[in-house]
């Protein structure tokens, strides 16, 4: 039998990585997608010990019937370093696997982060960033510091079956429809969500994710299809 010292180091790393992947809990048994403005979609899926964020685009509402058939590009990949589960929340320590192109430091020390993932009824999951720009040594203590952090505002990702439901909802068509949605966006309920968002440790720099999440929630609650809602509202406002 060949000595272990003759096994290439990369093969050893692959074996160790595969072993760790097999031990990692399956947190997402299916993909979930977030509705971005103007037909863009962010899709989250787990592959063994890796979380992948994909990017795709809808050109027609009928495509909601088969999201898996869309052309998807991997935009970000993270290795799940550790995971802790309490109540309905997963706390995940992540290491970004994507290198920074044309950089003198393609894998910087601060490539680690922490997120919380809320699992509801299986139709949707909520995601919130708890910490970014961490080094490896800070991971464990950072995760522990957020356990039982109750005040969080989550971005909602929906399973493919739920997207089919959205495709069957009524579309925003009239200025009256738009007015009702805009009034709802000024409601006390939305103000409560904004206050909750302010307690998030990491904010959305440009506010686009927050704005989209609010519009998605309101559209769905009022029985409207949230897909493309932002573009329709903008068009009706300009008429």
- Dump pLDDT digits (tens) for 168-208: 999 999 999 999 999 999 999 999 999 999 999 999 888 88
Place of tokens 């997402």: 28
What CA–CA distance (Å, rounded) separates 230 from 228?
6
The rounded Cα 212 to chain-centroid distance in angstroms is: 13
Q: What is the pLDDT of residue 16?
A: 46
Other C-beta atoms closer than 10 Å to the C-beta of 119 total 15
Spans of the chain below 70 pLDDT: 1-24, 101-102
Q: Which residues pair with 18 in a beta bridge?
A: none
What CA–CA distance (Å, rounded) separates 127 from 157?
8
Residue 170 DSSP one-character state: B
Q: What is the pLDDT of residue 121?
A: 84
> Which pTM does this prediction carry?
0.86
């Amino acid at each position: 039998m060949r000595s272990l010292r003759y096994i290439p180091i990369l093969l050893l790393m692959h074996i160790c990585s595969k072993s760790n992947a097999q031990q990692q809990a399956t947190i997402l048994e299916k993909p979930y997608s977030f509705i971005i403005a103007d037909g863009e979609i962010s899709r989250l899926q787990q592959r063994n010990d890796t979380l992948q964020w994909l990017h795709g685009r809808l050109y027609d509402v009928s495509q909601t019937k088969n999201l898996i058939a869309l052309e998807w590009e991997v935009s970000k990949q993270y290795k799940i370093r550790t995971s802790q589960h309490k109540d309905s929340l997963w706390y995940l320590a992540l290491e970004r696997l994507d290198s920074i192109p044309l950089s003198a430091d393609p894998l910087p020390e601060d490539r680690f982060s922490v997120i919380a993932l809320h699992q509801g009824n299986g139709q949707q999951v909520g995601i919130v960033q708890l910490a970014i720009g961490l080094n490896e040594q800070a991971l464990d203590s950072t995760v522990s510091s957020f356990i039982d952090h109750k005040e969080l505002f989550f971005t909602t990702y929906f399973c493919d079956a739920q997207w089919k439901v959205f495709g069957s909802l009524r579309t925003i068509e009239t200025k009256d429809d738009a007015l009702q949605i805009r009034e709802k966006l000024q409601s006390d309920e939305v103000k409560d969500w904004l206050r909750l968002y302010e307690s998030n440790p990491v904010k959305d720099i440009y506010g686009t994710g927050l704005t989209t999440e609010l519009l998605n929630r309101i559209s769905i609650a009022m029985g409207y299809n949230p897909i493309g809602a932002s573009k329709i509202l903008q068009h009706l406002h300009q008429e």
